[in-house]
Amino acid sequence: MNKIWPSFDAAVADIPDGASVAVNFWGFPGVTQNLILALRNRGTKDLTLIINNWGTAPMPEEILVNPAILLPQMKKLITSFFVSSPRLVDMYGIPSKEAELEEKLEVEVMSHGILMARLHAAASGFGGFYSPVGVGTILEEGKEKRVIDGREYILEMPLKPDFGFVRAHKADKYGNLVYLGVERGYNPVIAMASKVTIAEVDEIVEPEELDPEAIVTPAIFVDRIVQIPEGGRGSYKDSMQKVHAFLSIEWIRPLVLRTKGKEAQR
């Protein structure tokens, strides 16, 4: 058994037009930067992107690849945190070329937890589930409702991506994965839910080097593994260098560090 693929381009080469792809994006950690770039280079069209956070933020691509670079190739967005391009223009005063493309996009927004739960339902083979989240809000529109034990619930349906991109720290050739800190995030959920899971990792190690007690995503959920070249884009080392370069930008610091209440903290 060998799930190791030679390149990011090869690992995404069979993703067809119209496919749905799940990707993690919540700050710096855990973004499959190389797989996203490979998918852009492949030029696959009419994609449905399933992503926890969407925003075409003015982040230089050299620092962090934002999955929003796939926008010209997308027909649908499924997300929990949708900040539109015009809103970002207001926030940062930077003109957005994406606004027009975004307007054509079909957008489905739900709560963050329900996005996770719908993926998990698909992973578990459930046909749907009753959720108390969003009762009395826009989330219930057009959905079946039911009272269970005196509480109102909404019927939510499973969500099964055709492909899932997963960022992990280490893998073995079987596809067992371990993560670093909050890089874990949405990634194990994507791995469990997707029909085809492709992992982008810092390092592929011998199976005996991974402690079975510490494995987070078991091999059964992973189909393909690609290793980031040592120190290459998106590796832990590279990301650490870039985040520190990023922190030297003055307007960035208040967004990611604490500026108020300094005295109280000390």
Residue 48 or 79 with smaller CB distance to another protein? 79
Tokens of 226: 């690609």
**Per CB under 8 A, 104 contacts another protein:** no
Measured from the CB of residue 15, what is the shortest distance to another protein in angstroms?
Answer: 24
* Of the residues 45, 145, 195, 253, which one makes contact with another protein according to CB under 8 A: 253
Question: Where does this chain touch another protein (CB under 8 A) — which range of 35-43, 155-163, 196-204, 242-250?
Answer: 242-250
- Tell me how far CA of residue 107 lies from CA of 12, 117, 177, in angstroms: 24, 19, 32
For residue 120, give the amino acid letter.
Answer: H
For the sheet containing 145-148, what is the strand order? 129-131, 151-156, 145-148
**Per CB under 8 A, 112 contacts another protein:** yes
Measured from the CB of residue 52, what is the shortest distance to another protein in angstroms?
Answer: 7
Among positions 197-236, residues that touch another protein (CB under 8 A) are: 216, 236
CA–CA separation, 106 and 171 (whole Å): 35
In eight-state DSSP terms, residue 80 is S
Residue 45 or 145 with smaller CB distance to another protein? 145
Residues near another protein (CB under 8 A), total:
64
CA–CA separation, 187 and 32 (whole Å): 10
Q: What does the longest C-alpha to C-alpha distance in the chain come to?
A: 57
**Per CB under 8 A, 67 contacts another protein:** no
What burial class does residue 234 get, using C-beta atoms within 10 Å of its C-beta: 0-12 exposed, 13-18 middle, 19+ buried? buried
Binding site for another protein (CB under 8 A): 26-29, 52-53, 80-84, 86-87, 107, 109-114, 116-117, 119-120, 131-139, 179-189, 216, 236, 239-240, 243-244, 247, 253-262, 264-266
